[in-house]
Each structure stands twice: as C-alpha cells, then as structure tokens.
Amino acid sequence: MKPVKIGICGLGTVAGGTINVLKRNAELISGRAGCAIDIVQVGSRKLKDHVDLAGIDFTTNVLDVASNPEVDIVVELMGGYDTALEVVMTALKNGKHVVTANKALIAVHGNEIIELAQSKNLVVAFEAAVAGGIPIIKAIREGLSANAISSVAGIINGTGNFILTEMREKGRDFADVLKEAQALGYAEADPTFDVEGIDAAHKLTILASVAFGVPLQFDAAYTEGISKLSTVDIEHAGELGYTVKHLGICRLHPEGIELRVHPTLIPSDKLLASVNGVKNAVLVESDAVGQTLYYGAGAGAEATASAVIADLVDVARVINSSAHAAVPELGFKPKHVKALPVLPMEQVSSAYYLRVLAKDRPGVLAKVASILSDKGINIESIMQRESEEHDGVIPMMLVTHVVCESAINSAIAEIESLADISGSVVRIRIEHF
Ligand code: HSE
C-alpha cells in the first residue's frame, strides 16, 4: 500500500509527542494502518529544539501545509480558533482529510467544519480533543453504537483535577499547583480555560454531540469553574461522605439536553471520586450495557499523541479502502442529527450541598429549614460546626434531596435575605450516579 502523507500544523507539546511516537512506533503503526504514515511537512511560526525534524520539510506558514499537494491528511495541533479554523477549512477545500486535537475549534466551529467535510466526502477526526489519550469518542460512536445513551459525566480537565487533588490531599495553594500543571504541559496556553471550566465545556459539548447525535452547542453550555471553590467546602464535603470533583455532565431529555460544567459533590465510594491527579474519567450511562467508565491520562504529550495517531490510522484505512467507510463525525448520519436545544439550568434537577453562615442563636436553623420545606425541598443531612474564624457566626452545611434548580435558587435568595444569615450561601451540586 502507498504511504499516507501527513502535514502537521503546530509544534507544541502534542505535536512533539505525535512526531516522537510516529517515529518510535512506525512499524507497528503501519501494520495497523495497512500503510506507512509519513510526515512530509511541518508548519509552525518557530522551530523548536525539542523536536527532531530531520528529513521533514519545515515552513513558518501553516497555510502552506493546508495547500501542499503532497499532503493527504492535515494534522492541526496549533490550538486556538482563528488560524486553526483557516487551516482546517483550507485543508478541506483542498480535498485533504483533517485530524485535530483542538477542542475549542470543534466545540465552537464544529458544525461548519463537519458540514464542509461531509459535503466533500472527507473525514474530520478529533479523538484527541476530548480526554487526551482516552479513546472516549471511539467508545461512544462505535463501541456503544447499539445503545441509547442517557447521560455522560466526566472529569475532563486534567489541570483542574490535579489542582483539586493537590489541594485536598496536601493542602497546597491553588496558584502554586496551577504553576506546576503549566510546567508539566497540562494547562492550556490561557489557564483560565482550565480553572473556569471553559476547556471542560469545550470537551463536554463534543461528548454530548457524539452521545446524543445533536449539533455542537458550546454557547449554550452552563460553565462554572473551580477558582471560587474554598478548601473548607472540600473538607466539609469529605466529612459528609462526599468528594468534590469538577464535572462535565450532559443528560438527554425528550425536550432537550442538559449541558453543564461545575464543581460537584460525588459520594466518596463512587469510582469517579477516586480519580485523582491529572487523570480523566468519563462515565457513560446507556440502556443495553448500563454504566461504563473510561479512565486514563487526559493530558500530556504522548498520551494525547496516542489519540491523534489513532485517528491517523483510521483515516489511513479510509484512504486505502475502496468504499468511504468513515464513521460519521457525530456518530449519526447527517439526516439523523436531532436539533434538540440545551435546557436552561433552571430546569435541571440536582441534589445540593449548601453552606450557610448563620448567627449562633436559637431558631436560625429552623428558619432555614422552613424556607426549604416551603419550597418542597427535602433535607438529607445537616452538619453544624463551631468556627473560631467568624465571630458569633457558625457554618451550617445542608445536603438536600434532588430538587429543581429554580426551587433551590429561590430558597437561596430567601435564606440570604434573613437578618441572621451572613454573606452568600455556598451551593455545590451533588450527583449520585
Ligand atoms: N488543559 C487540558 C487539561 C489539556 O488540563 O485537561 C488536555 O486537553
């Protein structure tokens, strides 16, 4: 079989990993693909010392790669929106398949990219965009293709999970752990994407689309990060039997989908609760097989390269097969993609952990409980702590049963308006899975 020729745009962490793994495992990769995968050109603004480009043409103009007649597959590993979009659209217009690790690009511009690719009978593959090395897109689109999937929930930002784990286990400072995650190459160029949940929302948007066969709707995702999480809530949650994780959750309803990223309490005995460090995990709930859990490295050079190369192998097989046998990008043939909207958070139901700072006097707890009961909110447990830090004010932690977000919002507003309550109520959603 003729070698498949690829051009790589970008020369950062993931590109370096991809070039190294393609060279190191060249023989076994070609055995799986049915042909050699040759890197003919790399485009990047700058050369990087850590990558050996011997025998590979180098250009500082990434658009050269997208229009290079030698190239069969353009591998977009630059990240970002603008230039990446131009490269991908140019590559498709020039009849090239595309492999990308760019979750932001797919989450935001995926619909137009996929439409162009499908109109030209080309493949756009983005396994590396979600959960690094975990083959979750392949698992959902292919391994679970018999199933009606009802929900997907995951720890899909390694940096955030690394920070939460270090804070919980070692009491380390948020900023200090973030710096380490950046040095290790886990964090995004703009780390607010990690700590404010934007990166997780990009990935969740893609997961929801492949799980439910709906268009990509990043703008409608609810996004709440970990930057405002306080260590006291992580400790109190632990005492109540929960672990705080930053989760992306999507759930299918007849009238729309939930699409939300936020800190979440999970019962500490659930497997997801013990996913620590930079590791990612995705829990899929589906009708035939039930729950399946996918765990592994969610970031890092070679872990992400593993997913990039798996896509290259798939596309190489398509190029070398007589029929166009590619799996549809969103798992469903275009006419079966459903235009379901994302539901507003007010319509989402969840259990809640609430932390209320109350004056230490008789009847305050009764007033809080009565507000909750008036709204039909059932309390599962209450914990009260003495606090030396707040003069005459004590923290009360309440765990509720499942309730609609609109009810908890209105209860919180009433609780905050009580004269005996100080400051804002801390609210973290709980999922029992
Ligand atoms: N910044 C991302 C993370 C990298 O920490 O998970 C992988 O997408």
Tens of pLDDT along 86-131?
999 999 999 999 999 999 999 999 999 999 999 999 999 999 999 9
pLDDT of residue 349: 96
324-354 pLDDT, tens digit each: 666 777 878 788 899 999 999 999 999 999 9
Q: What angle do CA 260, 282, 10 make, to 5 degrees?
A: 85
Percent of the chain with pLDDT over 70: 98
Nearest CA to ligand 1 atom 7: 299
Pocket test for ligand 1, best of 13, 127, 164, 194 (most atoms within 8 A of CB): 194
CA distance 333 to 68: 30
Is the CATH number 3.30.360.10 carried by domain 137-297?
yes
Average pLDDT for 168-173: 85
pLDDT of residue 387: 64
Average pLDDT for 188-213: 95
| CATH 3.30.70.260 domain range(s) in the chain | 345-430
Average pLDDT for 248-271: 97
Average pLDDT for 250-267: 97
Q: Which residue has the tokens 């003919």?
A: 40
Q: Please list, in sequence order, all residues whose beta carbon lies within 8 angstroms of the beta carbon of residue 4, skipping any fewer than 6 positions away.
A: 33, 35, 36, 37, 38, 72, 73, 312, 315, 316, 319, 320
154 C-alpha to center of ligand 1: Å? 13
Residues with CB under 6 A from ligand 1: 132, 157-159, 186-188, 194, 199, 298-299
308 C-alpha to center of ligand 1: Å? 15
pLDDT of residue 76: 98
**Residue 355: beta bridge partners?**
397, 426
| CATH 3.40.50.720 domain range(s) in the chain | 4-133+301-336
pLDDT of residue 196: 96
Pocket test for ligand 1, best of 188, 276, 282, 302 (most atoms within 8 A of CB): 188
What CATH architecture is 345-430? 2-Layer Sandwich (3.30)
The H-or-E segment that residue 111 falls in is: helix 103-119
288-321 pLDDT, tens digit each: 999 999 999 998 899 999 999 999 999 998 998 8
224 C-alpha to center of ligand 1: Å? 16
User: What is the chain's percent helix, strand, coil content, to nearest 5?
Assistant: 40, 25, 35
14-69 pLDDT, tens digit each: 999 999 999 999 998 988 888 999 999 999 998 877 788 999 999 999 999 999 99
Q: Which of the residues are catalytic? A: 203
Is the CATH number 3.40.50.720 carried by domain 4-133+301-336?
yes
**Among 91-105, 179-193, 222-236, 371-385, whose mean pLDDT is lowest?**
179-193
390-403 pLDDT, tens digit each: 568 899 999 999 99
Average pLDDT for 204-228: 97
Tokens representing 369?
A: 């409980």
CA distance 23 to 214: 37
Q: H helices of 279-363, where?
A: 301-319
| CATH 3.30.360.10 domain range(s) in the chain | 137-297
